Structure 1
Amino acid sequence: MRVLLVVPPLAGHIAPLRGVASVLSARGHSVAWCGPAPEVSTLVDGPVFPAGDSAPFSLALRPPELRGFAALKYLWESYLVPLADAMAPGVASAVSSFAPDVVVADQQAMAGGLVAARCGLPWATSASTSTELADPLGSLPKIASWVDDLQAGLRARHGVLLGDLRFSPHLVLAFTTRALAGSSRLAAPVSYVGPVVPAASGEWSGSDGRPLVVVTLGTSNAAAGSRFLAESVDALAGMPEVQGLVVDPSGHLISESVGLARRIPQVAVFAHASAVVCHGGHNTVCEALSAGLPLVVAPIRDDQSMLAQQVTAAGAGVRIRFDRAKSGDIRKAVTSVLSTSDYAAGAARIRESFQAAGGAEEAATHLESLV
């Protein structure tokens, strides 16, 4: 079997498919990637077919102050749709050269679905985050109609009559579980395979014996998160009973009592932690819950609010306001998840569901069934 993985130049979206690609290769299948070059080439192993230039459509260009509909409008009008238009010729060339039996398209690489449908190829959606499965715009019909119109224009430009490009009619691989995300409201066939958490890279030996609390906002929120990170340092400095570690990509924070790092081997560090404070990014949430860690979630934008809702609904953590939380609020939330056993129990339930879901092996099996 020959599998073409069509992805955007976003590490978080590529991460679960790297594990799937490894399993497919180990089973003797041929795997190739397709996406904007050279960014994708730096994030994957194996052959890469270039598709478009992501520079004009980088999410890094989005003003950090955008929230709510303004952030959603930028995402669709200035990133998702232009990126699909730009990638489509390269994806078509990759399909012609590689001759895949099946195409896997990330939800933010809609060119994969466009070209696969046009060529009559079976294709699967890679849902690296579960947000869209819950139909977040279902209660906002005007915004949902606006998104539909943008997609209709995209399909018309490329001569495709397919429905919603975010959901393959053949298979949607959801890298989560029902225990966290709930059941899908979609008509498309959804397979909950659980997250693909990478193996710990290296060791971490910084624990001093106290409960470790890690604060991280991911790698792309440094500008928007400076205030929140500073408040987190103050919060943890006032908790001598815990060991605090704050990830500060800018390197601007200073503290004598709280650990600071520009980057951390996250999976390795989480193995020693007792709780995590984060922005609600899907990979960070899943890596924390895979370690059975309760969460304090302060969503910033995009899918993060929905992830925060899922965490609280599962009883695995609490939610605070990213833009308003002061050190006292953060300290109170951290104290709550550390001292209330129900949150640890909720995180443990999610961890068990992840372990039972199958991960990359299960995803690879579903893709084999498409051919």
Structure 2
Amino acid sequence: MSRFLFVVPPLAGHINPAAAVAAELAARGHRVAWAAVPGTVRDIAVGGAEVYPCAAPARVHRPSALRGAAALRFLWEDFLLPLAAAMTPGTRKAVDEFRPDVLVADQQALAGALAAERFGVRWATSATTPAEVGGSTATLPKVEAWVRSLLTGLRERFGDPGATHDPRFSPELVLAYTVAELVDTSAPNVRFVGPALHTRRAAPQFPWEWLDRNRATVLVSLGTVNTDTGSRFLAECTAAVRNRAHRMQAVVIDPAGMLAGAADATVLTLLRVPQLDLLPRMSAVICHAGHNTVTESLWHGVPLVVAPIRDDQPFVAARITAAGAAVRVRFGRADRVRLGAALDTVLDGPDHQAAARRLRDRLRAAGGTGAAAGHLEALAARP
């Protein structure tokens, strides 16, 4: 039996894959613990798993208009760096008390990697987005130099100043929850395991009788962090579907309740849905190209219409579009006409559906949670 400590940021999209792998390791008889912001993992942590509380920085509102370099600067200076500083004391305490054989650090929970190198603990990277598997800024020398200067400063404060590797990438194991076709990297320590799907507790109820088997059903989602930017986009999506009501209906995830009262026989708006249960019944997905939504959709062979907003989303959108499984639209310019045309393309033509099924087969063959757990066991067993 080995001990595995998972260090994760307070972001559901980063916690869920780790939770799936942690549950698999626990089922195999290993001990699992978490270093995380209180409340973010207790609902999904395996029963009995120890949770070492970490602090979180003061909540900072990200302006919805931020894009490109400004969004990247905000991500690092206003979120990742303060998060690393806030989580370091709790993470160090977890390492000291739990004494893990392997620490599994999410790429955005830099406190995990820095604590591991400072105390000589073997560690692996949990890479929840393909944009960072090979280093999305590697082709932008000035941006990469700026990021590395920030990492050097973090390392001098919290890590091992003598270390030379990039703390975003473990030198021994990087778990990538995708497949090689959707990433541009040849790093030897990357293991492509496909999506790590997890049965989420307290799944919301859904009116299954509402689904019309005689019409195509579209799932519309912008994730949980884009509620301040999505009202116009969601409204245009519903209008595009209503214009095709004779052959199409839509389930719209609307966590902020911006489309309250919009439900009828063609459009159903809900604050939350059991997404993993719904996807096998979907004909297409419209989303912001968030990696978890994309891979979960492709896991079921569902083609997509993607409208990336910021961060890693343009990279994800570019890769799945190049693979033939999606049509890309511009988030800021997407209206009911453009969205409707994109839906017609992915639903009526065979190419996008065939590409989605091809990627489904590749993702499932990668092994998912079982493969990820096996790689971590092998790492723990190394002399």
Structure 1 letter corresponding to 2:13: G
In the alignment, is the contact (CA less than 8 A) between 1:104 and 1:123 conserved in 2? yes
Instruction: Name the counterpart of 2:22.
Output: 21
Q: Equivalents in 1 of 2:85, 2:362: separation in Å?
A: 38
Aligned to 1:88: 88
* TM-score (normalised: structure 1): 0.95
SS, match of residue 82 in structure 1: helix
Confirm or deny that 1:133 pairs with 2:133.
yes
Residue 310 (structure 1) shift: 1.1
Are the equivalent residues in 1 in contact too, given 2:131–2:183 (CA < 8 A)? Answer: no
Answer yes or no: is 1:245 the counterpart of 2:251: yes
Deviates more, 1:194-203 or 1:321-330: 194-203
1:304 is aligned to 2:310: no
Contact 2:220 2:285 in 1 (8 A): yes
Superposition TM-score, scaled by structure 2 size: 0.92
In structure 1, the residue matched to 2:151 is 151
C-alpha deviation, 1:199, in angstroms: 4.0
What is the aligned partner in structure 2 of residue 50 from structure 1?
Answer: 53
Whether the 8 Å CA contact 1:281–1:304 is kept in 2: the answer is: yes
Q: Hey, what does 1:223 align to over in structure 2?
A: 228
**Structure 2 residue ranges without an equivalent (≥5):** none
> For this pair of structures, how many residues does the alignment match?
366
240-249 vs 83-92, greater mean Cα deviation: 240-249
CA positional deviation for 1:115:
0.8
CA distance in 2, matches of 1:220, 1:328: 26
Q: Aligned residue for 1:102?
A: 102
TM-superposition CA deviations, 1:161-191 (whole Å, max 9, x none)? 3321110001000011113x234244x6100
What residue in structure 2 maps to residue 182 of structure 1? 183
The equivalent of 2:239 in structure 1 is: 234
Residues 20, 196 of structure 2: 8 Å contact kept: yes
Of residues 295-304 and 205-214 in structure 1, the stretch that sits farther from structure 2 once superposed is: 205-214
Q: Is the 8 A contact 1:212 1:274 kept in 2?
A: yes
CA distance in 2 between counterparts of 1:113 and 1:16 reads: 18
Q: Provide the C-alpha distance between the structure 2 equivalents of 1:229 and 1:317, rounded to a whole number of angstroms.
A: 18
Q: Deviations for 1:273-328, whole angstroms, at most 9, x for unmatched residues? A: 10000001111111111110000000011111111011101110110000111110
CA offset at residue 218 of structure 1?
1.1
SS in 2 for 1:252: coil
The 5-angstrom pairing of residues 190-269 of structure 1 reads 190-199=190-199, 201=203, 204-209=208-213, 210-240=215-245, 241-253=247-259, 254-255=261-262, 256=264, 257-269=266-278
> What percentage of residue pairs aligned between the two structures are identical?
48
**Secondary structure of the equivalent of 1:124?**
strand
8 Å Cα contact 2:303/2:352 also seen in 1: yes
Structure 1 gap segments, 5+ residues each: none
Distance 1:57 1:185 in 2: 37
- Does residue 167 in structure 1 map to residue 169 in structure 2? yes
Partner residue of 1:41? 42
1:321 aligns with 2:359: no
Tell me which amino acid in the other structure corresponds to 1:233. Answer: T
- The reply on whether 1:286 has 2:295 as its aligned counterpart is yes
Given that residues 325 and 352 in structure 2 are in contact (C-alpha distance below 8 angstroms), is that contact kept between their aligned partners in structure 1? Answer: yes
Tell me the distance in 1 between the aligned counterparts of 2:6 and 2:311.
23
Report deviation, 1:159.
Answer: 4.5
Q: Distance in 2 between matches of 1:40 and 1:164?
A: 27
Change (3 A) 1:324 1:137: same
Aligned residue type for 2:52: F
Greater alpha carbon shift after TM alignment, 35-44 vs 106-115: 35-44
In structure 2, C-alpha distance between the alignment counterparts of 1:107 and 1:138, rounded to whole Å: 16
Deviation at 1:251, TM superposition (A): 2.2
Q: Which residue of 1 aligns with 2:7?
A: 6
Please tell me the root mean square deviation across aligned C-alpha atoms, in Å: 1.6
Q: Which one-letter code corresponds to 2:101 in the other structure?
A: D
Alignment-derived partner of residue 280 in structure 2: 271
Contact 1:194 1:359 survives alignment (8 Å)? yes
Deviations 1:79-127 (A, max 9, x none): 1111111111211111110011110000000111111111111100000
**Counterpart Cα distance in 2 of 1:319 and 1:268:** 25
Q: Which amino acid aligns with 2:65?
A: E
Tell me, yes or no, if the aligned pair for 2:103 and 2:122 is still in contact at 8 Å: yes
Is residue 57–residue 82 contact of structure 1 (8 Å, CA) maintained in 2?
no
Partner Cα separation in structure 2 for residue 309 and residue 342 of structure 1 = 17
Which letter does structure 2 place at the counterpart of 1:247? I
Distance 1:258 1:104 in 2: 41
Q: Give 1:67 shift.
A: 1.0
SS in 2 for 1:56: coil
**2:4 partner SS:** strand
Instruction: Work out the CA distance in 1 between the residues paired with 2:116 and 2:231.
Output: 42
